[in-house]
Amino acid sequence: MRGLLGTVVAVLIGVFALGASAQADEGRITLTIYKGGWVIGGSGGSGTLNFHGRRYPLSIGGLSYGLVFGGSKAQLAGRVSNIRSPRDVAGVYGAVGAGAAIGVGARAIVLRNEKGAVLELSGSQVGLIADLDLSGLAIGFK
């Protein structure tokens, strides 16, 4: 009887765990980010979150430290996953990155914030910039 009870409890825990993760949702996001600097860099911009048929305007700001030289404009689009509400997108995203653009180049990045939201973005970058840095990007609502 104990073995059966243990199996039933394990199955129920598994069902509840799957139900909790199944509640996480996803949306689409577009961002325009301007970046520039010399050793210490800054970034700013705007974007839009599309979630359950509604559009939410976003503001973007950040700092980076490392090898940063020049300036660029990146236009990125992609998916945001592991969210339960639009508020989960707001937060600080950290990254260690490297890249370079002379003229037009491609850019792809995956970021995660403290709430577990995951951004999978790709797009283009225009400008003259070289970077190998630690970056923090803050996304908030306008």
Q: Say what the pLDDT of residue 7 is.
A: 43
pLDDT tens for the chain, 142 residues long, are: 445 444 433 444 444 444 444 578 999 999 998 888 877 778 889 999 999 999 999 999 987 776 677 788 889 999 999 999 999 999 998 765 555 555 567 777 888 999 999 999 988 888 876 665 556 788 999 8
Q: How many other CB atoms are found less than 10 A from the CB of residue 24?
A: 14
| pLDDT value, residue 110 | 85
User: From start to end of the chain, where are the E strands?
Assistant: 25-51, 54-83, 91-112, 118-141
**Domain ranges in the chain?**
26-141
Q: What is the DSSP letter of 113?
A: B
pTM (whole model) above 0.85: no
pLDDT of residue 70: 79
Residues 6+ away with beta carbon under 8 Å from 9: none
**CATH code for the structural domain at 26-141:** 2.40.128
